[in-house]
A and B are shown apart, each in its own frame.
Chain A
Amino acid sequence: MPKKYHLETSPTPARHLAPGPSSILDWEEGCRKCHRCVRWQCPYGVYLHRDVDPFSLADTADSLCKHCFQCVQSCPMRLVSQAVNPEYTRLGDDYWTPDVLSRIYYQAETGLIPVSGAGYGGPFTGPGFDAMWTDMSEIVRPTRDGIHGREYISTAVDLGRKPEFVRIEPGGGWSETDACFVESPLPFILGLPQGRRLSPPVVSALAGAAEEMRAFCLIPYKYLNDLPKFSADFTALHLNREQLDLDPADFRRFPLVQADEADGVEAWVKRLKNSNPGQIVMVRLPFGPGVQERLEPLIQAGADIFHLWADAHGRQPGLDGPDEAKPFLKEMLREIHMTLVDLGLRDRVTLLVSGGLALAEHTAKAIVCGADAVVLDLALWAALECRLCPDCLDRRVCPVELETVPLDWAVRRLKNLMGAWRNQLLEVLGAMGLREIRRLRGEVGRAMFFEQLEEESFAPIFGWRKGQSLK
């Protein structure tokens, strides 16, 4: 029996109070000073612990209130009311909504899967990943993946080039071909977002968390000196254009190295493969037109992994205009995955994606669409309480003091989030009857897409969707 992977989580309270969705309006004028004030009957004790938070100067009740409206409905003088909290609605943006951010804060604090009562309250469908559902197996069929408990489901993935065949030696032994890969117990790589201030303590935390989880982090070269102590064994190194000229021997100790796609990168890949055999080479490319054509020559040059990136909302980078008009990650990824499948090259490389991955389900859905694993960035920042202020780079002061995160606290928060996300992947895989996440890759048959369901169920009843009929 292989040793089971264990990701330890531990409750790690926030350093800063996050605003809640409601704000209490507690008027005292006309108060009768009832013997049993309704405020003291609050089932959550919100008023008992009420204070002004010294750091944010906000009313703590606004963060603790669970809007059950008991106080509102019980005060005989009708003095208690509640309103939408504008400090909450201000958080994040249309994709990284206050609700998404609050979920991440919760998971980073507790390490638990978000479980709430009553049915789903969100929109029927939505753009991007919201237009996809995952399937489940009503009666787990033994012919699929066998009967097993959740604890035997594996979330491990392989990063790099796997052997496609083995060569039998004349003497009877066997040797692998030019395989070059590592196994990660999680389908998450910890990376850095663009457009955010990066501070050494946060980068150290990423490296520390990766090491403790035996997963990988993706760190730019310039931070190497800032990291107090870290294990190169769990670090993928990112080089920018100027650094491509560095002597590869200097970073042989890193199992993975990444460079951005640009002129001359093929030559760099070849050079690296020559100098550092066994080192896994990653090329990062933005999603966009023509990216498919770039892949084959890079594969021939020796690239093992492609890291395809989208913008923070999962859209094709570099375009102007509203999000709805831009291609989304899941469609672009499916195309690239299928192109490689058609070329017979899909199993020779690993596909990683990043951009717009805000919920655990986004990882599962990205893998269904063809990724092997994902690189996380903004979600990790949110785990450290980041509010995703739009003016991050221009601000004077970070509202959550990211530049001074304590290392231990940050590592635990990151592990909690990864633990919660991993557990959610286990739920989804368990529902499908899959015993490992590798088998989910490209498995669109185990997903249901909005367009497909609408067509199967509604087209026979209602005809063409508006705007789509061939007129």
Chain B
Amino acid sequence: MGKNSLKIVVRGCHHLAAYRRLFDRGEPDLPPEIEAGLLPCSSKIDEPHILKLFEHGAGALLVLACPQGACHLVDGNDRAERRAAWAAQRLAEIGIEPERVRFIKVESDLEEKIDEIIKEFAQAVFELGPVPSRVRRMAGKPN
């Protein structure tokens, strides 16, 4: 991963049917900078994990969660939302724009538009550019 290249990490709950379908034929058909994966629940991701993603070269993180009230673990998506917000704050403190972390509960009317949502996010991140490496290194250091 070159210093100037941009890696956009997308992680979505596998219970989101439309997101899951993107993986039917292998890799989702998305721009090359996007690295998408499946989670057993959006609450899989926690704050230390998010910070480590940036330390390891991610330039942005998009978390796609189930709609409000539809989480298979009842409030996993609420927990994930709080954690994403906390992580974004922490990143802001070291100079990484908080817009690089986005969390979305994908309501049913938005489901078919999932790949648009992803591409919109990617576009917004492109405009921010890559994260300078000296800033990224600070993401790995707690406090």
Binding site for B on A (CB under 8 A): 23, 25-29, 51-52, 54, 57-59, 81, 83-87, 90, 389-392, 394-397
Partner of B40, one of A29, A57, A83, A396: A83
Q: Beyond A25-B44, A57-B37, list 4 extra A-B contacts (CB 8 Å).
A: A26-B46, A51-B52, A52-B53, A395-B26
Q: Is B58 in contact with chain A by the CB < 8 A criterion? A: yes
Chain B interface residues toward A at CB < 8 A: 9, 14, 20, 23, 25-27, 32, 35, 37-41, 43-44, 46, 49, 52-53, 56-58, 73, 76, 79
Q: List 19 A-B contacts (CB under 8 A).
A: A25-B41, A25-B43, A25-B44, A25-B76, A52-B49, A52-B53, A58-B37, A59-B44, A83-B40, A83-B41, A86-B14, A86-B20, A86-B40, A90-B38, A389-B27, A391-B25, A391-B27, A395-B27, A397-B32
Residue of chain B at shortest CB distance from A83: B40
- What's the least CB distance linking B61 to chain A, in Å? 10
Q: Is the CB of B40 within 8 A of A25?
A: yes
Contacts of A54 in B (CB 8 A): 56-57
Pair A391/B39 contact, Cβ less than 8 Å: no
- Cβ contacts under 8 Å, A23 to chain B: 39-40, 44
Our pick among B25, B40, B46 for the contact of A28 (Cβ within 8 Å) is: B46
Who on chain A is nearest to B24 by CB?
Answer: A390
Whether the Cβ atoms of B43 and A27 lie closer than 8 Å is yes
Chain B residues in 8 Å Cβ range of A83: 40-41
Of all A-B residue pairs in the complex, the 5 with the closest CB atoms, nearest first, are A391-B26, A83-B40, A86-B14, A86-B38, A52-B52
CB distance from B7 to the nearest CB of A (A): 9
Please give, as numbers and ranges, the residues of chain B lying within 8 Å of A396 by CB-CB distance. Answer: 27, 32
B57 nearest CB neighbor, chain A only:
A54
Q: Which of A52, A59, A86 has the most CB of B within 10 A?
A: A86
> Do A25 and B73 have beta carbons less than 8 Å apart?
yes
Structural contact, B25 and A390, CB atoms closer than 8 A: yes
Neighbouring A residues of B40 by C-beta, 8 Å: 23, 25, 83-86
Q: Residues of B contacting A52 with CB < 8 Å?
A: 49, 52-53, 56
> How many angstroms between the C-alpha atoms of A21 and B39 in the bound complex?
13
| Smallest CB separation, A61 vs chain B (Å) | 11
Q: How far is the CA of A335 from the CA of B36 in the complex (A)?
A: 47
How far does the alpha carbon of A390 sit from the alpha carbon of B56 in the complex, in Å?
A: 28
On whether the beta carbons of A59 and B49 are closer than 8 Å, the reply is: yes
How many angstroms from the CA of A59 to the CA of B20 in the assembled complex?
20
Name which residue of chain B comes closest to A59, CB basis: B49
Least CB separation from A26: chain B residue: B46
B57: chain A residues within 8 A (beta carbon): 54
- How far is B23's CA from A390's CA once the two chains are assembled, in angstroms? 10
Question: What's the minimum C-beta distance from A76 to chain B, rounded to whole angstroms?
Answer: 19
Measured in the bound complex, the distance between the Cα atoms of B57 and A54 in whole Å is 8
Q: Which of chain B's residues has its CB closest to A391's CB? A: B26
Distance in angstroms between the alpha carbons of A27 and B46 in the assembled complex:
8
C-alpha spacing A57/B55, complex, angstroms:
10
Kindly provide the distance from the CB of B4 to the nearest chain A CB, expressed in whole angstroms. 18
- How far does the alpha carbon of A396 sit from the alpha carbon of B27 in the complex, in Å? 9
